[in-house]
Each structure stands twice: as structure tokens, then as C-alpha cells.
Structure 1
């Protein structure tokens, strides 16, 4: 009994999550439609007018045959000319209105997509670092590309096609019923097998569609993994094996697409058969009635024309289902992403810090990532303004966590992190970003010039200020030697900087920002020995007259600090100046001895 109860609880929870996703996606769609509801209703009116003009054609043909021709035989050409002229006018009007519908629908859909793209980008920027470390960049890219494309396909043609097709069928059936109710009854009877076939196609296509999407995703993953790991593939001679594995995935994808094509073939063939049988039935029944004087020839021709055009929209409605399934799933994912809340909220009453000094305090800080174990059980630190403190220790000791708390990428569970006496949770975000700059080992450069990448530290800086920052950290000569100097592009069409060179550019960026507190998190890890020697003078300039927290395994930077903290399991186990800790003979002394032995031959001691 307990198992079934738990199963019911799980099912209820899953149903609740599904209902929650559905509500979020409906709310998102409603918020996207509200700003464009005026143009959207205008598009609906255009659809109605266009279909009304097109459906009038067969009725005018009937009028021309049954009234125009007899009048012409009696010497009066006006009825025939009116019918023919009306047919031409409605055909032209239908074409013009259809074109206007396409344009209006495109304007509405593009406005919605622009709004949605901006929302996704803006929201992902506002989300905290915890989200980005949990939610992989590939998933975010998928939201901005494939999911938005699925919504685009639905908005660009799917909804308009559905509305146009449904209205065309409704107006066609109504016009035929008004013209001749018996022929209309034949058409309505034929709708039953058509609807059954369409429903059968929808259920089968959902399965084949999912199979095709899954196979496509597996094929892409296999391709990306093989290309990314090409060095390992070639080093271990795995080309043949990877070719077979990729071939298996390609065959799986081909088989899924083949099944989808065959399903579409059955659906199209079935609809064509039902449509042709309906036309034949209308023609036979109507022809017999013409012979007995039950209806006029023009009405019979109009009935055949209406019957022919009735089943074409049904095929489009069936094909719409796949687009709807894809867009619905995509909209749920986008709504879930937009429902994410920042774990580091903006302060309700921000405190300004116009002239930061860089005085830092950790007061009884306890921290753990998410709901995980505690990383910093109780951390206390006071860094007076203008001083440099270095944190060293084994990987996972908690050093980078301290850096992330200083930059307020995370908030502590308990305790406070203060800058110049102000809790970071209360500090104005703009003042915090100006006062604290963090340089990590991942020196990311954006597409653009070297100068633009350095100026990221202070947008609006002059070329002279950019060059001064580059000289200060020792990267000016490198930049000047590039093909276009500071205007050299650092994307795939331009120069490719090494990891150490990118790090030097990031130092120049930090120097230009001129923060009160500088945080270096393994910032020299990408530098080789010559590069490290080159950057030491630049770092001295960079760290001068400002507060700094330096996290490094390499001790070349640590030895210039005013104070060193050795961290183990989130606790400070040694504290003092570099020379004091070396003389003390503890953990730092052992690290120092290993460092001197490793670099002794390079002339850095």
C-alpha cells in the first residue's frame, strides 16, 4: 500500500510540475501577445476577408453558367459580364488580401520574436553565477537558437496557416450548403474519414517526430564530441571506430526521417483519395439530379469546385501539428528559463559608495553552494585599504569561493561581507562593479579589436589611456607588434592570441578600470616562465596603492603580498607575512620550498 501511495504522490508531483509548466507557457504567450493585440486582430480580419473573397469564386461561376449564359442567349450580356468581372475582382482581391495577410502576420510574429529574444538575453544576464554554473552554456544557446526557431516557425506560418485553413474549410462547407444542401451533406459525411485520418496522422507523427528529434540530437552530439576531441581520436588512431559510431547515429537519423516521410506519404495519399472520392460522389449525385432537373449545371460545377478545395486545407492542418508540438515544447522551456529567479537579488534600498577605499571584512561568513555541504564553515578576515592579502592552499580549500563572495557572485548563508563598512547585499550594484574587479584564469576576449577589449575595463577611455594601461602591465610591445596594432581584431578572422597573451590583455583591462579592490583568482596560471617574468613588474604596478586579494598556486605573485593566508577545508590554518610563514616552517614553508626547487633553474629565485 505504501508503494502505491508513493507512486500516486510522484504522479501528482509530476502532474503538478506539468501543469505549472503549462501555466507558465500560457502566461508567457499572453504577455507576448498583449503588446501586439491590435495588429494581431487586424491580421485576423485580413484572413477573414481574404478567405471570403476566395470562396466567392465558385458561386460566381454558378451564377455565370445558370444566369449569365441564358441571358446572353437572349441578347443580354450584362449578367455574364458581371459574373465574369466579379470573378476576376474577387480573385485579385483574394490575392492582394492574402499577400497583405502574409505581411501583417510577419510583422506580428517578428515583433513577438524580437521581444522574446530580448527577454531571454536580458534575463540570462540578470541571473546569478550559480545559475550559469548549473545551467550549461549549451542549453542557453539552445534556448536562443533551436527553441526560438521552433516558435518562429509556428508564428511565421503555422498559426496563419491554421487560421486560413480552418476558415477556408468552414466557409467552403457553408457556401456549398447554402448553394445546395444535398451536396453540402455529401461533403460533411466525407469529413468523418478525413478527420479520422488526420487524427491518426497526428498521433503517429508525434512519435516519429520525437524519434527524429532524438536521433538528430544524438547525431549532433557525436559529431561535436568527435570534432572537439580530434587530437585524442588521431593520437589513439580511433578514426575507424568513430566513423562507425557516427555512421550508426547517421543511420538512426536516416531511419527516423524515412519513417516520417512514409507516414506523410500515407497521410497525403489518404487525403487525396478521400477528396477524389468526394468529388466523384458530388459529381455523380449532382449529375443524376441535373438529368432530372433537380439542380442547375452551374450549381453542379460550383459544388465540384467547392468539394475540390475543401480537402487541401485539411492536409495543411495535419502538417501544422508537428510545428505546434515543437513550438509548444520550446515555449515551455523558454517559460521555465524566464521563471528562474536570481539567487543574488538586487538590494531594495541600495547604498551608494561614491569613493570606495577598499577596506574588506568577512564577519563570521558561512557558505555552501546551493543546498550542498558547507565550504566555508566560519570565515573571518579584515583587509585594510591599500593592502594585499594572498590565499594559498590545496584545490578545493575554498580560495575561489572567497573571491566569488567578494565579487558578490554569491551571497553567504550566514554572516556578512563588507566593503568600506557596507554589506555587499546592500551596496548599489553599479558602485560594486566599479569598486571591485575580478581577474580569473579564463581571460575571455570578445570579438573586436585589442583596444576595444582593453577598454572594456572603462568604456569611453581614450586611446592614450588604453595604451598607458597596456604599458603599465607590460603588454604594449606585444600589441604594437601585431598586424594592426591596437586595432588588430582578436576573432577567427584576425590574430589568435595565446592564453598568456590574453591574460596580459585582461590585466590591462583591470588596470584601466582602476578598482579600489582587485581580486586575482589564479590569474597567472596561463603564463609561461618568460610571460610570468614579463608580468611581474606589471602586477606590482597593478597592485600598488589598492586593496587586493590574490589567489594563486604559483608563489611568484604571493611573495609580494603583505599577508598570506593558508586555507584548508574553508578555514585559515596559517596567517602572516610571506617571510614569517617561511621561517615558521609550516605548510606555506613547504609550498615555498617546492616552488623554489621548481623554478630554480629558470632564474626566478
Structure 2
């Protein structure tokens, strides 16, 4: 039995994630040293206040004068200045450590996400990837800006204060050590339970993002079928799951706080009792005990902060493992076979079966045993009702989806397939695949930038003459009316283009890329009746002499194709030229009669 498809991208181990961060941190070693020095000075200055109070407790009852008060006050003032400067320097150094590391990590994740194979993204869904690039990246940024400074400060305060407590009186220091096993037990209870629950929470956020994204992008389809209520229930279910997990996380954190507070109350009580005994027998002074109690009490906030922030630390850690998982998946994918490089391949689809269910043996197939061969320069049109499987066939032919069963391949070296070198589309590196096959879908995205940058997207090194030639090839005469020609800013915030103009840009990209095969999935549907004729001419010009699979939403596109496939319920029910199918009087003839009328 075939293993179920992995529905999420990889998640790195915690060790692997921190190993990935290590070289990024080593490049900023000087700032880390400065951060440590400033933190130690800041934490040490914080001990001056408890020391000054303890001194006053011992010396004032013994008859000391105002000079003791003044020197203590001056010491506290100087310590305050040191703490202020140390805090500022520490924040400055931390910003130079954390912000560049987070920025570099985010860049790596985005670059890795863009380099992932199309089939992999199709299998996992865009929601998981969007959640990692957006939500997890935001979580790491927030942790670096808000959580990390408090964690670093708290750790240094705990270490320095513990050393100061031992220096006041080693016996009181030993009593203070009683807190360690209690805190350790809290962490032992907390840590093994926290990581799974935070990973579940982040995964639930990813599923929620996927549902929301799917609902927003498919809003037109949902309205067309009056299926909004069902999709809203699914979105509500995903949101409810994320909400319930967040509540469980809060409840879990509250229990951790309770254990922490219990440790503080027990140890502070032991410290005061021990101090009372030492003072009673003359082994210590009231001032020393007061100082020790204040130093230990000073630990409450940083230790509480460490435990209180641990949920955010763990959540950020879970986000880090998901982000590094994207980087690892993009960089450690197995090497694929090299393209044979022979010109004029044929596109061969053999016995294709496809299901969106995780179980490959599901009976709910979108495609059932579809076979097709497109020779160099041949244009094949696919027609059929909505839900017939046309777009799924187009995505498999473009190498964007892998068939559940069957094979989609490029066959090199002549008309006959037997014995000829071939490559499965899913086995070709993405860059090589796009040299042979390009797809233009119904929905086109125009990026913020110049018209030149938008057209040159598949060939960034293309010059102005090449870009103009591609636009002229698809009949984009409207470019001459733009205020700055190729330098006109389009997309969000730029010059608004019509649906026909945006689709023309997509066809110009195809002409510039010049692949062996073009896959057009209702690429002229957005033009409406008014612009359909213009776009159909542009599409024919963009195809040129290359082979093509055209999912036709208008039968006038099928009329000019070399061959027509008629699909119903995932199967090819008719195949032939336009004239042959009209003469046969079958399903295509019925569609043509309705279209002609």
C-alpha cells in the first residue's frame, strides 16, 4: 500500500534549528560579548540596593551617623546610573545581534519557500507555507524584539544574584539552593509537555490560515455554488481548534506559575527561619539576613519572567523549527536526474489517475485513466463541463501536480516513444522543467514594479528590446499609451490595468520564456465577451509554433486547435479534430450546436 501523502512541510528538530542559528550568531560575536558585559554590570548594580538596606539595618541601631545614610544613598544613585547605562548598552547590543539574525533567517525562509518544488507545495497546500513565512516569521520577530531582551536580562540577574546571595553568607546561600530542585521539578514537569502543545498550536494556526486563504481565494466559486455556509463551518471548525489549543496553553501556563510561586514561598520562608536562627546564635547579623532576603526576593521577578515567558519562548522555538524545516526541505531535497537536453520533446501523459484525498487508493478520483500525447508544435484543446477534470489535467501537464497513478513525461528524440530517452515531469529540476513547459492560468498576478520587470519575470536578464518584442508579439499596442512606457509602475499603487491588459502581460511572459510547450488553463476567461476576441488572438500569437494544451472556455479556441479532447467526470469521452467531432454527432457536437446558437 502506498504511504499517505505528507500534508505539511518538514519540521526541523530543535537541535538542528539552533545549529542553523549558530553560524548566524558567531558573525556577531563582538556584540554578544558587549551584551554579556553590560548585562553583568547591570545585574551587579542591582545588588547595591539590598546591600545598602542591610548596612543601614546593622549600623543605624548601633549609633551610626548621617554619613552612613548619605554614602548608601550615593551608592544607590551610582548603581541606578550604571543600571540605566547598562540597560541602554544591552538593548543596543541585543538589537545588533537579534534583528540582523531574524532578518537573515526570514530572507532564507522566503528564498527557500520560493525555491520549493511546485509539486511539494501542491501536496501540502499553500496555507502551511504561508503560515510559516508569515505567522512564524512574525512570531520570531516579536520574540527577538520583546521576549529575548527580558530573557537575557532575567538570566543574568538570576546568575549574579545567586552569586551575591552566596557571598553574603554561605549558609544562607545553601538555603537559597533549595529553590533549585523545586524550580527543576517545575521545569521537568513543564518542558516535556510544553513543546508538543506549542507545536500543535502552531500547526492549528497553519490549518486555520489555510482554511481562511482557501475561503478568500475561492469566494467566487463558493458564491456560485451557494456553498458559503459549508466553507464557513470548516473555517469556524479550524478557528475553534486553534482557539481551544490557545486556551489549553494558557491553562497549562497557569499551572506552571502556581508551581513556581509555591517554590518561592517555601524557600523565602526557609531563608527567614534560617536567618532568624543565625542571628539568635550570633552567627550572622540582621542586616545580612535582610540583604539576603531582599536579594532572594529580587529573584522572584526574573524567575517569574523566565517561566512566564517560557510559553512565548517555546512558541517561538516551535516557529523556528517550522521555519528551519522549510530551509532544510529546500536545500536537502534529493538531486534529480539531469535533463537529456534533446530538442523538440513530446509531452506524454500515460494512464493518469488523480485524487485529492490523502489515501491514494481512494475511489474519489478527479482523473480516471487519461492518456494524451502532444507532439512538438501540436495544439490540443480540452473542453468539458465544470468539474470534468480539465484544470487538474492542465496542472499535471505543467508539472505543478504529480499524478496519483500514471506518468507525465517529456519524451525526447522523434515521434515514436519506445526506446526514446524520457524524463518524468516530477523528476526534472524546476528550472529545467520551466525551460520546456510554462503555464498561463485564468488568474494572473501583476507584481508591484515596472512593466518591464513584470514581463521579464521568467527571464530577468532580458533587455528592453526583448521585452518590447514579446509585448508586440502578443499585440500589446496599449503599452505605447502608458505614461512612462516600460518604466511605468503597475500593480498595487501603480497604474491600473484592465483584465485584458494584465492577461496580455502573462502571455508576453510566455512568449519571452519561449518554452517547448505552453499550458493555457482558461487563460482568456477573465476578458469577458468584449475582450475575448482580442485575447484569443494574443494567445494564438503567444503559442507560435510551440506545442500547447489549451483548456478552452470558449469553443472558438477548440475550433482552431489541431485536436480536441472532450472530458466528462475525469474521463476522455471523445477525441478528434473539430470537424470530425462535429460530424460524429456526439457530446462535442451538442456543445458546438449550443455554442453556435
TM-score by length of 2: 0.71
Q: CA deviation at 1:342?
A: 10
User: Aligned residue for 1:7?
Assistant: none
User: Aligned residue for 2:422?
Assistant: 423
Q: 1:519, 1:549 within 8 Å by CA — same for their partners in 2?
A: yes
Q: CA deviation at 1:467?
A: 4.7
Indicate whether 1:361 and 2:358 are aligned: no
Residues 262-277 of structure 1 aligned to structure 2 (within 5 Å): none
- Measure, in 2, the Cα distance between the counterparts of 1:535 and 1:484: 24
Q: CA deviation at 1:100?
A: 3.5
Indicate whether 1:527 and 2:527 are aligned: yes
> Which structure carries more relative contact order (alpha carbon 8 Å, separation 6+)?
2
Query: Over residues 329-379 of structure 1, what are the superposed CA-to-partner deviations in whole Å (9 max), with x where a residue is unaligned?
Result: 3344445545657999653444446xx4xx342557344448636846473
User: Aligned residue for 1:316?
Assistant: 305
Residues 41-120 of structure 1 aligned to structure 2 (within 5 Å): 42=33, 45-46=36-37, 49-50=40-41, 53-54=44-45, 57=48, 61=52, 92-120=81-109
Distance 1:136 1:193, change over 3 A: same
User: Aligned residue for 2:163?
Assistant: 174
Query: Over residues 180-229 of structure 1, what are the superposed CA-to-partner deviations in whole Å (9 max), with x where a residue is unaligned?
Result: 24544665567888888999999999999999999999999999999996
Q: 2:536, 2:557 within 8 Å by CA — same for their partners in 1?
A: yes
Q: 2:346, 2:411 within 8 Å by CA — same for their partners in 1?
A: yes
Q: 2:257, 2:308 within 8 Å by CA — same for their partners in 1?
A: no
User: Aligned residue for 1:490?
Assistant: 491
User: Aligned residue for 2:595?
Assistant: 598
Distance 1:65 1:489, change over 3 A: same
User: Aligned residue for 2:129?
Assistant: 140
Query: Over residues 247-283 of structure 1, what are the superposed CA-to-partner deviations in whole Å (9 max), with x where a residue is unaligned?
Result: xx99x979x8899699979969995x99799889978
Indicate whether 1:379 and 2:371 are aligned: yes
Q: CA deviation at 1:482?
A: 6.5
SS of match in other structure, 1:526: helix
User: Aligned residue for 1:552?
Assistant: 552
Q: 1:519, 1:548 within 8 Å by CA — same for their partners in 2?
A: yes
- Measure, in 1, the Cα distance between the counterparts of 2:309 and 2:187: 11
**Aligned-residue CA RMSD in angstroms?**
5.8
Q: 1:54, 1:90 within 8 Å by CA — same for their partners in 2?
A: yes
Distance 1:445 1:321, change over 3 A: same
Q: 2:41, 2:83 within 8 Å by CA — same for their partners in 1?
A: yes
- Measure, in 2, the Cα distance between the counterparts of 1:368 and 1:342: 30
Indicate whether 1:390 and 2:381 are aligned: yes
Q: CA deviation at 1:415?
A: 7.3
- Measure, in 1, the Cα distance between the counterparts of 2:579 and 2:331: 43
Whose radius of gyration is greater, 1 or 2?
Answer: 1
User: Aligned residue for 1:438?
Assistant: 439
User: Aligned residue for 2:417?
Assistant: none
- Measure, in 2, the Cα distance between the counterparts of 1:432 and 1:194: 56
Structure 2 residues without counterparts, runs of 5 or longer: 1-5, 415-420
Residues 512-591 of structure 1 aligned to structure 2 (within 5 Å): 512-566=512-566, 574-583=574-583, 585-587=584-586, 590-591=587-588
Q: Which moved more, 1:307-316 or 1:566-575?
A: 566-575
Indicate whether 1:509 and 2:494 are aligned: no
Q: 2:116, 2:330 within 8 Å by CA — same for their partners in 1?
A: yes
- Measure, in 1, the Cα distance between the counterparts of 2:75 and 2:519: 78
SS of match in other structure, 2:525: coil
Q: 1:488, 1:495 within 8 Å by CA — same for their partners in 2?
A: no
Distance 1:223 1:438, change over 3 A: closer
Q: Which moved more, 1:523-532 or 1:407-416?
A: 407-416
SS of match in other structure, 1:437: strand
- Measure, in 2, the Cα distance between the counterparts of 1:342 and 1:188: 46
Distance 1:517 1:199, change over 3 A: closer
Distance 1:39 1:57, change over 3 A: farther
Structure 1 residues without counterparts, runs of 5 or longer: 1-16, 601-605
Q: Which moved more, 1:514-523 or 1:317-326?
A: 514-523
SS of match in other structure, 1:445: coil
Number of residues of Structure 1 aligned to a counterpart in Structure 2: 567
SS of match in other structure, 1:104: helix
User: Aligned residue for 2:119?
Assistant: 130
